[in-house]
Amino acid sequence: MKKLLITGAAGALGRAMRPRLAGLAETLRFSDIGAMEPAGPNEECIRCDLGDAAAVHDLVAGCDGIIHLGGVSVEDKFSKILHANLLGLYNLYEAARAHGQPRILFASSNHTVGFYRQDEHIDATAPMRPDGLYGVSKCFGEHLARMYFEKFGQETALVRIGSCLEKPSNHRMLSSWMSYNDFKLLIECVFRAPMLGCPVVWGVSNNDSRWWDNSHAAYLGWKPQDNAEIYRAELDAALGKPDPKAALHVYQGGNFVNDPIFEED
């Protein structure tokens, strides 16, 4: 690729992935509403509010690939979600449509299906069951992307990220964890696939205890290498025996199912 745009670059996931993306494109264009580390060689850094259509239009110009990590990434007030995740995503897709439809990797979320129980095994055809407003906004995003695909041919990978962290920090993540390296491998697969289409991909490592079935997306050739299982003993020692009745261990969305609706100011 000539130029790859990464939104949400100042967020936790964006910062973690930034050094791992070098080499994916001649230029990496990082963007966030907040402050980012200064641009290094072959990097650009552009601050941008996703709710600002004109700014997003300019941001996308010249890019032939987009990794969209931007927007609100946890439960929050609806006004904020509306601005960043609903309006912001629309702005992004309109900008992409105006600029030749670069392929998009959209960071969707396991919170689109958070109300499934952890003893349920689901694939990409399972009806969505979002666990909060954030999850609903990701459902919206997946459907917006699908509409742009069917109507205009815009390709998107709808990556339902589980828990993308350095390592699992509780027992739920023994199932939901995706390592940074496996995410990197997935990104490579998404942008190298001859035809992408608009698939849901479960963003999860090769964990022994995973809940999700990616076999429909085998054509991408993604083979995650890591397995959260190696952290089990460490978690057992640190956290003790998990409470089988706690939402954290009952629902795929974990504690999100107990989040309230956040009050507006």
Sketch the per residue contact string, 144 through 173, with a copy of itself: x for CB under 8 A, - otherwise. Answer: x-xx--xx---x---------------xx-
Binding residue (CB under 8 A) for a copy of itself from 35, 38, 41, 195: 195
42-51 in b/e form (b: 16+ CB < 10 A) is ebebbebbbb
Instruction: CB nearer to a copy of itself: give 30 or 116.
Output: 116
Q: Measure CA 244 to chain center.
A: 28
Task: Give the integer Cα–Cα distance in Å for 66 and 29.
Answer: 9
139-167 in b/e form (b: 16+ CB < 10 A) is bbbbebbeebbeeeebbbbbbbbbbbbee
Instruction: CB nearer to a copy of itself: give 14 or 203.
Output: 203
> Which residue stretch of 17-25, 33-41, 65-73, 83-91 sits at the interface with a copy of itself (rule: CB under 8 A)?
83-91
Task: Give the integer Cα–Cα distance in Å for 47 and 26.
Answer: 20
Task: Give the integer Cα–Cα distance in Å for 42 and 33.
Answer: 21
Rounded to a whole number of angstroms, the minimum distance from the CB of residue 62 to a copy of itself is 18
Under the rule (CB under 8 A), what is the footprint of a copy of itself? 53, 78, 82, 86-87, 90, 94, 97, 115, 117-119, 121, 125, 127-133, 135-136, 139-140, 143-144, 146-147, 150-151, 155, 171-172, 174-175, 194-197, 199, 207-211, 213, 215-223, 229, 232, 242-244, 249-250, 257, 261, 264
